C-alpha cells in the first residue's frame, strides 16, 4: 500500500471552511468544547477536525465529491477505539480487533454525538475500557488507523472475494445498528 498523505492546509485558508462551508459544524464544535485541530486534504476529500482532549475524542467533517459526512472517534487505552459515523461507507470493511464502528443515517451532529456517547458509556461499563491518557495527534492516529485497517483486511482469507460480500451485504446489515447489536450478529 502506498503511504496515504494528509496535507494540512495553511491556517490562512481555514476561514472559508470554518465560517463558510462548515459554519454549522464549527459553531457546534465550539459550543460542545471541541477545539479546532486543522483542515486536511486527503485525495479528493477535505477533512475538518476538532478535538475534545478530556473525552479523548475527535470530531470530523469530511467534504467529499459524494457529500458531507460526520464522525466521532474516541481513543481508549490498549489500542481500542470507537468510531461513530453517519455514512454507510464506514462499515464496508470488517473492523480490526479493538476497533468498534457504528454508523447511522443521522444528519444532526448532536444526535450522532448522543449515539457515540451511549456506545462509549457501554464500552466503558461492559469492557471496562478507559479513555486514553495520552491523546494522539490527529494525523498520527488517522494514518495509523488506515494502515491497521489495510493490514487487517489483507489478513482475512480470500479477502478479495469477501470484499464483494462486505460491500453489498455487510455494510447494509450493520447500518443503523449500535455496536452491541453488531457483536450479537457476528457472534451468532
Give the cell for residue 118.
451511549
CA 132 to chain centre: 16
pLDDT digits (tens, 9 = 90+) for 47-83: 999 999 999 999 999 999 999 999 999 999 999 999 9
User: What percent of the chain is predicted at pLDDT more than 70?
Assistant: 93
- Which strands sit side by side in the sheet containing 35-42, from one edge to the other? 7-8, 35-42, 45-52, 57-64, 67-75, 81-85, 99-103
At 188, the pLDDT band (50, 70, 90 cuts) reads very low
How far apart (Å, rounded) are the C-alpha atoms in residues 99 and 80? 6
Q: Where are the domains of the chain?
A: 7-187
Q: Taking each helix axis as running N to C, give the angle between helix 179-187 and helix 109-126, from 0 to 180 degrees, rounded to the nearest 10.
A: 50
At 29, the pLDDT band (50, 70, 90 cuts) reads very high
Residue closest to 27 by CA, chosen among 53, 55, 50: 50
pLDDT of residue 162: 87
Residue closest to 176 by CA, chosen among 56, 84, 45: 84
Grouping H, G, I as helix, E, B as strand and the rest as coil, residue 62 is strand
What pTM does this model have?
0.90
DSSP 131: B
- For 19, residues 6+ apart whose C-beta sits below 8 A from its C-beta are 26
pLDDT digits (tens, 9 = 90+) for 138-183: 999 999 998 998 999 889 898 888 888 888 888 888 898 888 655 6
pLDDT of residue 180: 65
Amino acid at each position: 500500500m502506498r503511504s496515504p498523505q494528509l496535507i494540512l492546509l495553511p491556517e490562512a485558508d481555514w476561514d472559508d471552511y470554518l465560517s463558510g462551508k462548515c459554519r454549522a459544524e464549527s459553531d457546534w464544535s465550539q459550543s460542545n468544547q471541541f477545539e479546532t485541530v486543522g483542515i486536511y486534504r486527503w485525495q479528493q476529500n477535505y477533512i475538518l477536525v476538532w478535538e475534545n482532549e478530556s473525552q479523548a475524542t475527535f470530531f470530523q467533517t469530511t467534504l467529499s465529491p459524494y457529500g458531507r459526512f460526520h464522525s466521532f472517534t474516541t481513543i481508549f487505552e490498549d489500542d481500542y477505539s470507537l468510531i461513530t459515523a453517519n455514512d454507510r461507507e464506514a462499515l464496508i470493511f470488517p473492523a480490526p480487533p479493538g476497533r468498534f464502528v457504528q454508523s447511522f443515517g443521522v444528519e444532526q451532529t448532536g444526535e450522532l454525538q448522543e449515539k457515540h456517547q451511549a456506545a462509549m458509556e457501554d464500552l466503558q461499563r461492559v469492557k471496562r475500557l478507559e479513555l486514553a491518557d495520552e491523546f494522539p495527534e490527529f494525523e498520527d492516529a488517522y494514518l495509523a488507523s488506515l494502515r491497521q485497517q489495510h493490514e487487517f483486511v489483507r489478513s482475512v482469507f480470500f479477502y478479495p472475494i469477501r470484499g464483494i460480500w462486505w460491500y453489498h451485504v455487510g455494510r447494509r446489515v450493520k447500518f443503523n445498528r449500535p455496536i452491541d447489536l453488531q457483536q450479537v450478529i457476528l457472534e451468532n
